[in-house]
Amino acid sequence: MTSRTVRTAGVEEELLARWPFWRANSARFAAREVWTDDTAEPTAALTLVGRHGGDALVGLGEPEALARVLGTAELPGGLVHALLPRGTWTHVPAQVRERFALVPGGSWDWLACDSQPEQRLGEDRAEILGTGTGALAAAGAVLARGYPERSDRDDDATRTWWGWRTADGELVAVLAARLASADGSGVHLSAVTVVPEHRRRGIASALTAAATRWGLAQGPLVHLGIWSDNDAARTLYLRLGFRVGAEIENLVPAQH
């Protein structure tokens, strides 16, 4: 089987839009070139995008079909990153993997919700902190206590930060919401953090439910990512109505 290149912008978007993961992230994944399996109804697509200061790949569809596309597509060297459906890399021949010089760098799941979650106890203590440096400073104090390994993001000050306060007004939990501009992309949640001494009290659930309810008023979908081995987070989000929409493997340059 060979791959075929799709270069017409309108055709690209129409093709890629069949995958919810792409629709939800298309605002940050601007496809420069697209390859698909050479069939009338493609089951896989490989896209070249600009990301993290260089060329990156985003793969969609069936892992085995995508692996065949990877083996035949004419791709540039020096890739800095790849996001592929989990299981794709194991189907890529060894000589092709060596040509890309990429290695597995962790796996995660993309979850999405399109229906209102059940009301959670404590949602009334969730509030929008806002955007800008003031909101970021308040959120940053919580992140430093509960999520110190999170690095600063370039767009943190533009995100809508949410917080959850105790009865005496102490801010003990936060999360970030990013409004995407592309049609159908909805709202992305990230950096869900509860300070250690307040965990296992339903705070993360209440805060996420409130933010999800708000997000669904902004667009058709609310989505987020979790590491694939984070079973506690998976249980929390599934109970709120999220469903796994894509299982992703990260690939990074071999020297990292």
Closest CA to 139 of 120, 159, 169, 121: 159
62 sits in the region (left: phi over 0; alpha: psi -120 to 50; else beta) called beta
Can you give the pLDDT at residue 201?
Answer: 96
Side chain identity, residue 237: Y
Q: What is the pTM of this model?
A: 0.91
Can you give the pLDDT at residue 1?
Answer: 45
> What is the average pLDDT across 222-251?
97
106 sits in the region (left: phi over 0; alpha: psi -120 to 50; else beta) called left
CB 132 within 8 Å of CB 140: no
> What is the average pLDDT across 217-221?
92
Ranking 6-10, 17-21, 200-204 by mean pLDDT, the lowest is: 6-10
Q: Which residues contact 191 (CB under 8 A, 6 or more apart)?
A: 139, 143, 147, 150, 174, 175, 176
Does pLDDT of 4 surpass 70? no
Span 47-79, pLDDT tens digits: 999 876 789 999 999 999 999 999 888 888 888
> What is the average pLDDT across 4-8?
49
Closest CA to 15 of 33, 53, 42: 42
pLDDT exceeding 90 applies to what percent of the chain?
71
**Residue 29 binned pLDDT confidence (cut-offs 50, 70, 90):** confident
CB 174 within 8 Å of CB 191: yes
